[in-house]
Amino acid sequence: ESIKVFAPATVANVACGFDIFGFAVDNPGDELILKKSDRKGVRINRIEGDEGRLPLAAEKNTAGIAIIKFLEFIGEDGQGFEMDLKKLMPLGSGLGSSAASSVAGVFAANELMGRPLSQKDLLPFAMEGERIACGSAHADNVGPSLMGGFVVIRSYEPLDIIQLKTPQELYATIVHPHIEVNTKDARNILKREISLKNTITQMGNVAGLVAGLMLPDYDLISRSLVDVIIEPIRSILIPQFDDVKNAALENGALGCSISGSGPSMFALSKDLFTANRVGKAMQDGFAKVGIGSECYVSGI
Ligand code: HSE
């Protein structure tokens, strides 16, 4: 008995919502084949597309650990599995690569076990994958990768996650420059304290973005895609950040910021034509200093 699943890449934070907002895109993503086996334990046969960098030991692998924790929870840790993972997206890119693997793993295991848990109930196990990948069990990548669309993590304890309605026409452009940023490092450089003034600004934008998506009101979405807390610090890790962001805005994007912990940058646009033009302009911004990139455009 085996199953082949796909889990999509995600844009976490979405400017103002550090650790609480994220959305899924159509591509790229991870493909995973899971097979039941008579031998106890989770075995990873093969990982493609990671240049040999990801651990094959199941308990050190984001997909492996998610499955192990899930099996323990449902009291079936005697069940064995074999896994093949195909990474169809870059690692360390800010696109939720580790999250896509854990989601694919736990989703596939739940299906093969006859779906003992609901999709939402699989989240805590996928979050365990994030914990081993970067030391923090945030849900803003695994949430949207598992559930699709745009999600809000209202609370971590207890976990309270909401799927938001988004406008019929809304497109994401993601540009991945060929540099790497480690999520753990990108979290460690953040300040532990924030000012009341910045908190107020950020809360206004968080509320504005939710309202803008639901109304929908594109101008409000645009005004709210502002991050005064995280972006000013993390943007120093991304060469050409200001140039690329300005290029996106000048070409009609509603907003532009860092995707997850970077170095990828995302922009939102009202229509597909603009989203493609924005992508080209953003790539040109990186190319000016000799940095190659990939661009992905997708509906949200
Ligand atoms: N919210 C997380 C962060 C996402 O920004 O560190 C990491 O992909």
Output the residue whose Cα is nearest ligand 1's atom 1: 19
Output the residue whose Cα is nearest ligand 1's atom 6: 261
pLDDT digits (tens, 9 = 90+) for 78-125: 999 999 999 999 888 999 999 999 999 999 999 999 999 999 999 999
Report the relative pairing of strands 42-48 and 80-87 from DSSP bridges: parallel
Q: Which atom of ligand 1 is nearest to the CA of 13?
A: 1
Place of tokens 């959305």: 23
Q: What is the pTM of this model?
A: 0.95
For the question of residue 199 being annotated catalytic, the response is no
The ipTM assigned to this model is 0.98
For the question of residue 72 being annotated catalytic, the response is no
What's the chain's average pLDDT? 96
Identify the H or E element spanning 287: helix 272-287
Report the relative pairing of strands 171-177 and 160-164 from DSSP bridges: unpaired
Q: Is 92 annotated as a binding residue?
A: yes
Most ligand 1 atoms within 8 A of CB, residue of 11, 18, 151 to mutate: 18
List ligand 1's pocket residues with C-beta within 6 A.
Answer: 12-13, 18-19, 94, 96, 138, 140-141, 183, 186-187, 260-261
pLDDT digits (tens, 9 = 90+) for 256-286: 999 999 999 999 999 999 999 999 999 999 9
- Structure confidence at residue 250 as a pLDDT band (50, 70, 90): very high
Task: Sort 46 into a burial class: Cβ within 10 Å, 0-12 / 13-18 / 19+.
Answer: exposed
Structure tokens at 135: 């030391």
